[in-house]
Structure 1
């Protein structure tokens, strides 16, 4: 199973990065190394990783926040490998986006077993739809289906924002986070107004006159949140 798998290792400590990467290469994995989140984002388009090993404490950002972004855009499995061993850290990481969580130092044998297990689980989940109050969101085909089963066409930006809100539900996401979601980390490509425009278009598309539409709520000082479906037209 190892020889066909590519593992993207994100670790800022050089010795630990080489220790993990070297051990995986010895076991037949192809390994892509990243020292920080910037390296990670540069690697994603070409690495085609099967599993990402992600540290939480990185010099240019928080691995937990990056994990939510990864889950929206990538099909790869995600395993946190970190020195943070508090229960609240493990629970938060798994609730946000992680498939598994390992604390350093890690056993190579256990790491490989966890990687292979995550690959099997991700393959098994590949065709599972995300159900939101009767609506079905397909993260693989990037499609959204109304409660009656009909397809609701969405642009790439609209789908990315909806998927982010669905993943965070019921918690809100602020405009800066949504800006990152739709910009592919190129801030020149979009503005804050772009987020507002996409939210407005989504609200119109998700509103069903007969009831059962999804509501995107503006929460003052916090951003936007995906609320429960409503029986009829509601104030947004």
Structure 2
């Protein structure tokens, strides 16, 4: 199956032209030709079956044969706000796996103990697109610009989440995600840096209704903790 990401396609289109980059990949690399069937995804739930009309290496024209909306729509919404890792490859690894498993929104948050203060989302966007195509999904996760934890908490005050949680290593009573989350919900999970959230940050989040959660007895790296959260929510909604 040949799958292309085409964010500008619309459900009413009867024909569509691939970009020069995608045309070159289809004709020069994949060596597709007239009448070959390919599939398109728009990143917002649209899944399109198309047939090549004109196999041009710069402007391949397609005939749209079938459209399915809300293809593979998730029964839940998950927003993970995670402190970016010092090594960006680790954050990219998390994003790739989370996209494959299922996640709707990711926000890099800068906290007091963060090892990295800046994040370029262009590369993360490309990683998410590749993972979306690899896992045959039609929804592309929203990747927000990096923001300070304090501003993020303020920004999210008015959002209607079923459950807001914070995963940290400090002492205190915690619950497992599966014990406080119900299937079909809208969840927000905060994941801190390697040095964890500060006591003041934990207190601030708790004052805003974020429930402390445990991800098990092991001490996890930031990207592992974030992925474990995604897995637990996915299993809960299976």
For Structure 1 versus Structure 2, the TM-score category normalised by the shorter chain is under 0.3
Q: Scaled by the length of structure 1, what TM-score is found? A: 0.28
Greater helix share, structure number: 1
Q: Scaled by the length of structure 2, what TM-score is found? A: 0.27
